[in-house]
Amino acid sequence: MATTENNYFGKYIHGWLNSVFGKRDVKIPNASGSESGVTPIFDENGGEMFYFTDLTSPKENIDSALGYTLIHARTGELTYYNGEKNNGIMDSEGAKQIVNKEFPEKRWEGYMPVLYNVDGNPTWVVNVLDPNGLHKQYAYIKANDSDFVVFGDTANQTLDAYRMALLQNPGNVGATDGVELETRSGGS
């Protein structure tokens, strides 16, 4: 149902006539998800489940994400997050291709990419599977820089290595630990 809802949302966003003639704002969902083109994810408390998918342009040879949707598993409510804030981020198919090109001799492939915000950077987190479907590694890919990729054996190790690489990149601003908060008051 979530896949069908994504298809209708992307195709008929401005009605049937627009989907045939003008095609303004028409988007197609990527089929990179683990279940019928969508990936089930949980909120930060683990209490609510959503179906995630990213949307791309129907034009050929365009591999940037136009946005993504989260569909609440219980209510079916679709929330669309557009790509205006993250212009130029690659789509999930692009993230999988980066992983696929990294291990051609082993035939390891990217699976189930999910977009996260890691220290203010849109990041694709991709599982790396062998030809038998066994999990081998994690890949963290900076969504707006296809050359910025970190691989690791565990989720925490890969996240730490990715954050370290972000800190070493002079173009990135990182979070700091140990900041003391001060209470301030003032008039308007």
Tens-digit pLDDT profile for residues 71-129:
898 898 888 877 555 556 788 888 898 999 998 899 999 988 888 888 888 899 999 99
Say yes or no: 60 and 108 in one domain.
no
Phi first, then psi, for residue 66 (nearest 5°) are -90, -15
Least confident range of 2-11, 26-35, 61-70, 176-185: 176-185
Contact 81, 50 (CB under 8 A): no
Residue 179 has what DSSP assignment?
A: P
Residue 134 lies in a domain: yes
Residue 185 lies in a domain: no
| Between residues 183 and 50, the one the model is more confident about | 50
Residue 181 lies in a domain: no
Say yes or no: 106 and 135 in one domain.
yes
Say yes or no: 53 and 122 in one domain.
no
Structural domain including 104 reads 92-168
Q: Please identify, among 82, 103, 134, the residue that sits at the C-terminal boundary of a domain.
A: 82
Say yes or no: 99 and 72 in one domain.
no
Say yes or no: 38 and 100 in one domain.
no
Token pair, residue 106, equals: 């082993």
Q: Please identify, among 82, 103, 129, the residue that sits at the C-terminal boundary of a domain.
A: 82
Residue 20 lies in a domain: yes
Tens-digit pLDDT profile for residues 34-78:
677 788 888 888 888 998 887 877 766 666 677 778 889 889 888
Three-state secondary structure call for residue 78: strand
Residue 183 lies in a domain: no
Rounded mean pLDDT, 130-148: 92
Residue count of the chain: 188
Say yes or no: 28 and 73 in one domain.
yes
> In which residue are the tokens 């051609």 written?
104
Say yes or no: 100 and 64 in one domain.
no
Residue 69 lies in a domain: yes
- The number of distinct structural domains making up the chain is 2
Residue 173 lies in a domain: no
Residue 38 lies in a domain: yes
Q: CA 78 from chain center: how many Å?
A: 16
**Model confidence, pTM:** 0.69
Q: Would you call 82 exposed, middle or buried from its count of C-beta atoms within 10 A (0-12, 13-18, 19+)? A: middle
Q: Which residues of 145-154 are buried (b: 16+ CB within 10 A; e: fewer)?
A: beebbbbbee
Token pair, residue 3, equals: 């896949």
Three-state secondary structure call for residue 25: coil
Candidates 127, 9, 1, 124; CA nearest to 72 is 1
Q: Please identify, among 52, 82, 112, the residue that sits at the C-terminal boundary of a domain.
A: 82
> Which residues are 128's β-sheet partners?
110, 137
